[in-house]
């Protein structure tokens, strides 16, 4: 069960990083059914996983969000700023609970009834969306980064050994067939090194995922209308570099 719970936490974290931005984008284009379906699938998946893992608070919150999103999908509800704020608040709370579960800390459930009530049509409950949960960078990409570091170190040693072998063969002179075998080995080592390096790469869009939500909330506080356009999000960087850049970018 621990492995399943850790997998759930990792998957939920990964999705939450992009979900707030998706919800903000959906608010600007409520007719975008594909984006609405993606948001609905996330809360539906969380609800299903919570039932299996016995996480009733998460199940209750995600079920409430699923119901209101289902009503929007069927045309019974029309998305507006109040509804989007309420859904964002639910998403924020889900993130807080997931982080508390991972840290082994108890998290008071005060205010969760208000979050759910704010989803109802005609509700007078006023919910202020909290800032997205900021967590310490985790050294994992479904595979512990320390293990990837060891793989990279091993590949570096392999490259050095290959180079030393090639030097000795040139100095002493060997059969051409052995040289051909070494050439094949060199190509294989180079390909493996490139593959291991790419396992650490991540699209830089992960660095920008929190910005749409942040811009939306700041604009709402200041009474401004802001359009955010991000380009180059398909560029790839080492995940560690992205994590190091995340907080400075937020503060800027």
pLDDT, tens only, 13-68: 877 877 878 888 888 888 888 889 988 888 888 888 887 788 888 889 988 999 99
Any idea what the Cα angle at residue 75 is, between residues 69 and 76, rounded to 5°? 80
Partners of 238 in beta bridges: 201
Domain boundaries, the chain: 2-117, 145-199, 202-251
Average pLDDT (186-199) is 81
Say how far apart CA 145 and CA 243 lie, in whole Å.
12
Rg of the chain over CA atoms, in angstroms? 24
CATH number, domain 2-117: 1.20.120.160
pLDDT in tens, 79-119: 888 888 888 888 888 888 888 888 888 888 888 888 888 88
Q: What's the rounded Cα separation, in Å, for the pair 95 and 19?
A: 11
Whether 28 contacts 215, CB under 8 Å: no
Question: Could you tell me the pTM of the whole model?
Answer: 0.54
Quickly list H helices, the chain. Answer: 2-28, 33-53, 56-74, 81-103, 112-117, 145-172, 176-199, 205-208, 211-222, 239-251
């Amino acid at each position: 069960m621990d492995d399943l719970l850790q997998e759930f936490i990792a998957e939920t974290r990964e999705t939450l990083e992009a979900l707030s931005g998706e919800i903000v984008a959906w608010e600007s284009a409520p007719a975008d059914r594909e984006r609405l379906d993606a948001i609905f699938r996330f809360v539906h998946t969380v609800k299903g996983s919570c039932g299996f893992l016995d996480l009733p608070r998460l199940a209750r919150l995600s079920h409430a969000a699923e119901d209101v999103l289902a009503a929007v999908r069927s045309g019974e509800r029309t998305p507006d700023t109040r509804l989007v704020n309420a859904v964002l608040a639910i998403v924020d709370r889900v993130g807080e609970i997931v982080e508390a579960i991972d840290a082994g800390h108890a998290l008071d459930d005060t205010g969760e009834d208000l979050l759910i009530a704010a989803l109802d049509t005609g509700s007078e409950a006023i919910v202020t969306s909290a800032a997205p949960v900021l967590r310490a960078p985790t050294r994992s990409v479904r595979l512990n980064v320390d293990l990837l570091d060891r793989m990279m170190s091993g590949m570096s040693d392999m490259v050095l050994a290959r180079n030393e072998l090639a030097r000795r063969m040139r100095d002493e002179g060997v059969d051409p067939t052995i040289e051909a075998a070494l050439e094949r080995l060199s190509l294989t080592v180079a390909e493996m090194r490139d593959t291991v390096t790419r396992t650490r790469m991540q699209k830089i869009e992960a660095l920008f995922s929190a910005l749409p939500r942040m811009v939306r909330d700041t604009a709402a506080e200041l009474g401004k209308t802001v359009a955010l356009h991000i380009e180059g999000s398909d560029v790839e960087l080492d995940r560690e570099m992205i994590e190091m850049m995340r907080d400075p970018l937020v503060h800027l």
